[in-house]
Amino acid sequence: MSNSRFPVSLHILTLLNEAKGAVVSSEYLAGSININPVLVRKEIMNLRKHGFVESKEGKGGGSFLAKSASDINLGEVYKSVRGSNVLGQSKNEPNPKCPVGRQINQHLDSLYSDAENALIANLSKQTLADFASKFE
């Protein structure tokens, strides 16, 4: 997973929340985040797929929150963007001839998912509304 997807998504959501329902273009979002608009649109595609935002095509189009900020949980947002695990990829290829190498991936996986669940549980204590309130 790209290491900046979560921050970018949260930034987008925060801006959309500021907009209070108004439609915001990817160009504008990209300007605030200071990244490429295409990347913003890709991230929005994902946020839309997960029901956090909606988009409107055509002139005057753009995106807006699909639900109330207090119904958008940061743990859910995290889950929507994380591809692989946080602690390291399990796509390493340890030597199968080594007794440790042979089975380490499965143990790492369970260690990771456990730890990641703790992280998600922590993020889940906050909603977008909580986060956005810090910008007042």
Partner DNA sequence: TGTACTGTAATAAAAATAATTACAGAATGA
Partner DNA sequence: TCATTCTGTAATTATTTTTATTACAGTACA
Site mask for a second copy (CB under 8 A), range 25-64, x = bound:
------xxxxx-----------------------------
Q: What CA–CA distance (Å, rounded) separates 36 from 33?
A: 9
Among 67, 70, 107, 129, binds a second copy (CB under 8 A): 107
- Does residue 130 contact residue 72 with C-beta atoms inside 8 Å? no
131 binds, among DNA, a second copy, none (CB under 5 to 8 A by kind): a second copy
Select the span of 14-22, 40-48, 50-58, 65-73 touching a second copy (CB under 8 A).
14-22
Q: What are phi and psi of 51, to 5 degrees?
A: 80, 15
**Which position has the token pair 């970018």?**
8
Give min distance, CB of 10 to a second copy, in A. Answer: 7
Q: Which of residues 11-30 bind DNA (CB under 7 A)?
A: 25-27
Closest CA to 131 of 3, 24, 13, 40: 13
